[in-house]
Amino acid sequence: MIDSPRLTNAILYVSGVTVSFDGFRALNELSLFLEPGELRAVIGPNGAGKSTMMDVITGKTRPDSGEVFLHGRHDLTKLDEAAIASLGVGRKFQRPTVFESHTVFENLELALKCDRRARYSLFARMSADQRARIDSILAEIGLADRAADRAGLLSHGQKQWLEIGMVLAQDPDVLLIDEPAAGMTDAETMQTAEMLKRISGGDRAVVVVEHDMEFVRALDCKVTALHEGSVLAEGTLDAVSADEAVIEVYLGR
């Protein structure tokens, strides 16, 4: 794959993206720019375009128009899902899907970014670097003491953490996470916020789609509010929450 010249310093550049389904505009000239190391929360009512935005970024949906660039040079609108994932875009869906009969450690081992051809999988042994990588992820997601436990024994929140860890094992530069706090206890919700702050930073950026405003506040990050497929407001949570348009269409009075 030949890279285009670098067009922007943003790690993720979404500009003027429009997506229509049977005449309905799910995204309408959507623009969003994410810097390396940034943690961003995306909020908005149902139908605001949050899931479609992630579908476009990951290659599941092709936009009618607009640009989506990774690292300022990879045009994601021209690539399929596998190619986009290999370039460093990971996605965590709302419902956790882990291998419940395998241990936590084995789940992460299966997810590691490495050669998955049959010959390698049958005969290769885990290297010291791979083991160290898994240990590092276990520490990041707060499951080091559950490494030998079957994933099916974890709580709902812990399964969410494990699946985030499985995406991290693919070494993404951009991580998209859909409503991670859904169904969690209050304690798990706060632990999840702290974990997401830990795993963003450096060269990795994290986008979190969420409805729980207390969780968004705990993230302590820039917030983008969507409505009818466009950015309605952007800034701190306090600034976005005070925006009259956001109050009218989403938060209520």
Q: How far is 97 from 33, CA to CA, in rounded Å?
A: 29
Q: How far is 57 from 123, CA to CA, in rounded Å?
A: 35
**169-200: per-residue pLDDT in tens?**
999 999 999 999 888 999 999 999 999 999 99
Task: Look at 42 and 23; give whichever has higher pLDDT.
Answer: 42
pTM over 0.85: yes
Confidence of residue 115 (pLDDT cuts 50, 70, 90): very low
Say yes or no to pLDDT of 1 above 50.
no
Residue 154 CA to chain centroid, in angstroms?
22
The pLDDT value given to residue 117: 47
Confidence of residue 2 (pLDDT cuts 50, 70, 90): very low
Say yes or no to pLDDT of 140 above 90.
yes
**63-113: per-residue pLDDT in tens?**
999 999 999 989 999 999 999 999 999 999 877 789 999 999 999 999 986
Say yes or no to pLDDT of 5 above 60.
no
Q: Which amino acid is it at 117?
A: R
Question: Which residues are CB-neighbours of 28 under 8 A, at least 6 positions away?
Answer: 18, 49, 228, 229, 230
The pLDDT value given to residue 137: 96
The pLDDT value given to residue 93: 84
- The whole-chain average pLDDT of the chain stands at 90
Q: Which amino acid is it at 221?
A: C
* Secondary structure of the chain in HEC code, one letter for each residue: CCCCCCCCCCCEEEEEEEEEECCEEEEEEEEEEECCCCEEEEECCCCCCHHHHHHHHHCCCCCCEEEEEECCCEEHHHCCHHHHHHHCEEEECCCCCCCCCCEHHHHHHHHCCCCCCHHHHHHCCCCHHHHHHHHHHHHHHCCHHHCCCEHHHCCHHHHHHHHHHHHHCCCCCEEEEECCCCCCCHHHHHHHHHHHHHHCECCEEEEEECCCHHHHHHHCCEEEEEECCEEEEEECHHHHHCCHHHHHHHHCC
Mean pLDDT for the stretch of residues 120-128: 64
Q: Which amino acid is it at 167?
A: V
Confidence of residue 244 (pLDDT cuts 50, 70, 90): very high
Say yes or no to pLDDT of 252 above 90.
no
Say yes or no to pLDDT of 30 above 80.
yes
The pLDDT value given to residue 113: 64
The pLDDT value given to residue 203: 86
